[in-house]
Structure 1
Amino acid sequence: MTPEGVPFDDRGLAYGDGLFETVLVRDGEPLLWAEHLGRLARGAETLGIPLPDRAALDALPARAGEGLAVLKLMLTRGSGGRGYLAPAEPEPRLRWQAVPFAPARARWRDGVRVRHCRLRLGIQPALAGLKHLNRLENVLARAEWSDPEIAEGLLGDAEGRLVEATCMNLFWWQDDAWYTPRLDRCGVAGTLRQALLADGVIHEGDTAPEALATAEAVCLANSVQGLWPVTRLDDADGRRQARWDIGDRHRALQAEAHARLGYPHD
């Protein structure tokens, strides 16, 4: 059996040959919509998948209804081709779903405990930054822990650089500035991260997993959940590596992030 409306030979189902976006929508208005559509367009250009009509995309957030919701868009190359060889003229499929959403407000206020993952991300610059449908690395990494006290896992690449969390971007305070890992080799370039970079609120840099424990402050964020201060960092075996108190630096970055999402930051 395949999901309703998705044939067995859909290339997104068979090969992960496609892209997706998860968009925060408030009363029918999408947040960071330009950033989401921009990332979708970059991914479509890289993979060679024709984009849906812009008007059709712009009409979708209003269908999420009133209140807070998450709109998920899924674009596949469609069917056709032979094995891995894609069709010369693809007929892409767009699927979408909107569901009510409530963010984890306690994590905004109290912060979170995170851990390093054993899994290492493969390095593939051709796909770096894209939110493509093949997320098996993230699935394996998330399977490394079941403790509900641990909110996220941090991922490094095969050459020892920190990249991201399993579904959030990473930020750390160093040398009087907020930094986030460069994502030119692997990882997902989040839309909230992009907006903060564009406005000069954060900067790109590199750090190793073991060096993160010496940072003065650490946060995680994405365009749906908002920003979580990190209060404890564990290694992959559950041993504590560092603790942080939530301070003005966390709250200042949280205010910048939440202003772009319409979330409170007090």
Structure 2
Amino acid sequence: MDYATHPNQFSINDRAANYGDGVFTTMAVDQGRVALFRRHLDRLQHDSAKLGISFDAEALAAQIRSHATDMQHGVLKVLLSAGEGGRGYARSAQCSSGIFITRHMLPEHYNQWRQSGIQVDVSSLKLARQPALAGLKHLNRLEQVLIKRELANSTAQDAIVCDQQGCVVETSAANLFWLRDGIWYTPELSDCGVAGVMRGFLLDWFANSGVTVEVGRYSLSQLGQAQAVMLCNALMQIVPVTGMGGAAEQTFDPEPVRQLANNVITSYQEEYDQLD
């Protein structure tokens, strides 16, 4: 069952509802602790600052901890709105940020995905390039809504998404890595896409472990030459891709992804919030 911190206080005049003026993050909770806790808070602070939204980070951290302790297991979604005010696009001087926290069940299929892997398609939708919003998990998600609508007519579990220049960016709801000739690759996100907290964790883990990873612009044909492909986000964690449809139909070996997932377990567990 979903649960909102202030279920009766989300106003029809809130800028989140009218303009997508805000940011959010989605956290996995296990045994009352939030995975990648500090990364989620840092993401909210970074992304909200880019949009000129301020909030009390320590007060929010306390709210999140309270929810996590109470629910024990599941998902917390934290939505940070620019607040109410301003009939048009411009914010009024009286705008103050609003925080909304909802509770959800962790999708049951993610565990199966991690074990068995998934098939991905290639979306026909191309992401627009907007460097001012690139990397941010802002509330304007219409591109992802359209991608999910298209995916509903496919037998694949997710879809690879490119930008308007044909560069691979991400999937409908996850970041993307692939392995070729001993090197991991992932798209750079300076023009579009979401810089996920799990992606950040993996990039740091690669760097600290001496594993070569390259961040750049890559085509679908380059992705199709991979030995192994994986998706990642804060809820699914690391999921192997076993096959890719569309024009670049290809199969991939899930074993390197499973091995990587095992290798990062200790470091991942160390990034759970430490309760007093």
Identify whether the pair has TM-score above 0.5, normalized to the shorter chain: yes
Structure 2 counterparts to residues 18-37 of structure 1, below 5 A: 18-37=22-41
- Of 174, 196, 217, the match for 2:202: 196
Question: Residues 256, 204 of structure 1: CA spacing in aligned structure 2 closer, same or farther, 3 A cutoff?
Answer: farther
8 Å Cα contact 2:29-2:73 kept in structure 1: yes
- Structure (1 or 2) with the greater helix fraction: 2
- Structure 1 residue 57 and structure 2 residue 61: aligned? yes
Question: In the TM superposition, what is the alpha-carbon distance from 1:258 to its structure 2 partner?
Answer: 4.4
When residues 85 and 177 of structure 1 are mapped into structure 2, their CA distance, relative to the original with a 3 A threshold, is same
Moved more, 67-76 or 101-110: 101-110
Deviations along 1:47-86, whole A, 9 cap, x unmatched?
A: 0011234133233233233542111001111111240111
1:154: which partner in 2? 160
2:89 counterpart letter in structure 1:
Y
Tell me, what secondary structure is at the counterpart of 1:60?
helix
Q: Tell me if the contact between 1:232 and 1:240 (Cα under 8 Å) persists in the aligned partners.
A: no
Matched AA of 1:146: A
Range with greater deviation from structure 2 (220-229 or 66-75): 66-75
Q: Which amino acid aligns with 2:160?
A: L
The match for 1:74 is 79
Counterpart in the other structure of 2:4? none
Measured in 1, the distance between the counterparts of 2:164 and 2:15 equals 28
Structure 1 letter corresponding to 2:259:
A
Q: Name the counterpart of 1:96.
A: 101
2:222 equivalent to 1:211: yes
User: Residue 273 of structure 2 corresponds to which residue in structure 1?
Assistant: none
CA spacing shift, 1:69–1:261, aligned 2, 3 Å: farther
Report if aligned partners of 2:22, 2:138 keep a CA contact under 8 Å in 1: yes
Question: Once the 2 structures are TM-superposed, how far is the Cα of residue 111 of structure 1 from its aligned partner?
Answer: 0.8
> Retained in 2: the 8 A contact 1:67–1:100?
no
Does residue 43 of the first structure (1) align with residue 47 of the second (2)? yes
Identity %: 35
Shift of residue 257, structure 1, vs aligned partner:
4.8
What's the secondary structure of 2:151's corresponding residue?
coil
Local SS of the residue matching 2:132: helix
2-structure distance, mates of 1:53, 1:40: 9
Q: 2:10 aligned to 3, 6, 23, which one?
A: 6
Any residues of structure 2 matched to 1:81-120 within 5 Å, and which?
81-101=86-106, 103=108, 104-120=110-126
Shift of 1:147: 5.2
Instruction: Give yes or no for contact 1:49–1:90 (8 Å, CA) kept in 2.
Output: no
C-alpha distance in 1 between matches for 2:234 and 2:45: 18
The aligned residue for residue 250 of structure 2 is: 242
| Separation of aligned partners in 2, 1:52 and 1:139 | 31
Residue in 2 that maps onto 1:228: 239
Q: Distance in 2 between matches of 1:40 and 1:241?
A: 37
Q: Provide the residue aligned with 2:274 in structure 1.
A: none
Given residue 60 of structure 1, which amino acid in structure 2 is its aligned partner? I
Q: Which moved further from structure 2: 204-213 or 221-230?
A: 204-213
Cα drift, residue 181 of structure 1: 0.6
1:124-166 deviation line (CA, Å, top 9, x unaligned): 1111111000000000011112257411011101111100001
Aligned residues: 256
Aligned to 2:150: 144
Contact 1:114/1:232 (8 A) holds in 2? yes
C-alpha displacement at 1:246, in angstroms? 2.2
Selected match of 2:178 from 172, 182, 185 = 172
Change (3 A) 1:105 1:53: closer
Structure 2, unmatched stretches of 5+, are: 1-6, 270-276
**Unpaired segments of 5 or more residues in structure 1?**
none
SS in 2 for 1:59: helix
- Partner of 2:129, secondary structure, is coil
Tell me if structure 2 keeps the 8 A contact 1:31–1:260: no
